[in-house]
Amino acid sequence: MSDTHSSEESGLIKTPVQLLVVVVLAFVVPIAAIFTIIYFVMGDSKSRATPAMSDKAVAERIKPVGNVPDIEKGPSPLVPAPAPVAVAAPGADAASAPAANGKAVYDSSCQACHTPGVAGAPKLGDKAAWAARIGAGAAVMHTSALKGKNAMPAKGGNLSLSDADVKAAVDYMVAQAK
């Protein structure tokens, strides 16, 4: 019988000690590589101690951009506040006080609709549009202004006005149409 194999082994591992070293390195090297990658990815703890990484700085960066106003805090920013109504000084002429007060109320609450004639509102100074209303009488016009009529809301939408102020504004508009 002839032996076809040579007596020398052709493998790299020739002794049991070399086999043991290769097996141990097969486990240790990948684990060391994993820990090295984790260290570089996570960085060291010193970089997190900077002021930019403090809890306050992070909270400031991630806070919402806008905020919703609290309705209970005050009037809506979408609805303009009514303009103050001028009050006549004591001792002023009694006849000119309602006219001045009526103009002030018209300027603050009525002109938005009555100057351009919005939704059928009679324009200030338009004698033809006011003729039928004037013919109905002042009491009817006052009631319409106080309670609302057609597209016009009660008190022209400014419910903070007193009845006397609304009547003064109506009288002012009627005086402009005569």
CATH superfamily of this structure's domain 99-177:
Cytochrome c-like domain (1.10.760.10)
Domain residue extents for the chain: 16-62, 99-177
* Gyration radius of the chain's alpha carbons: 45
- Nearest-angstrom CA–CA distance, 94 and 101: 11
- Concatenated DSSP letters of 26-77: HHHHHHHHHHHHHHHHH--GGGGGSGGGSHHHHHHHHS-S--PPPGGGSS-T
- Residue 27 reports pLDDT greater than 80: yes
Identify the residue whose tokens are 């009555």.
114
- Residue 6 reports pLDDT greater than 70: no
- Residue 92 reports pLDDT greater than 50: no
- Average pLDDT of the segment spanning 134-163: 80
In which element (H, E) is residue 157 found? none
Query: What's the whole-model pTM score?
Result: 0.45
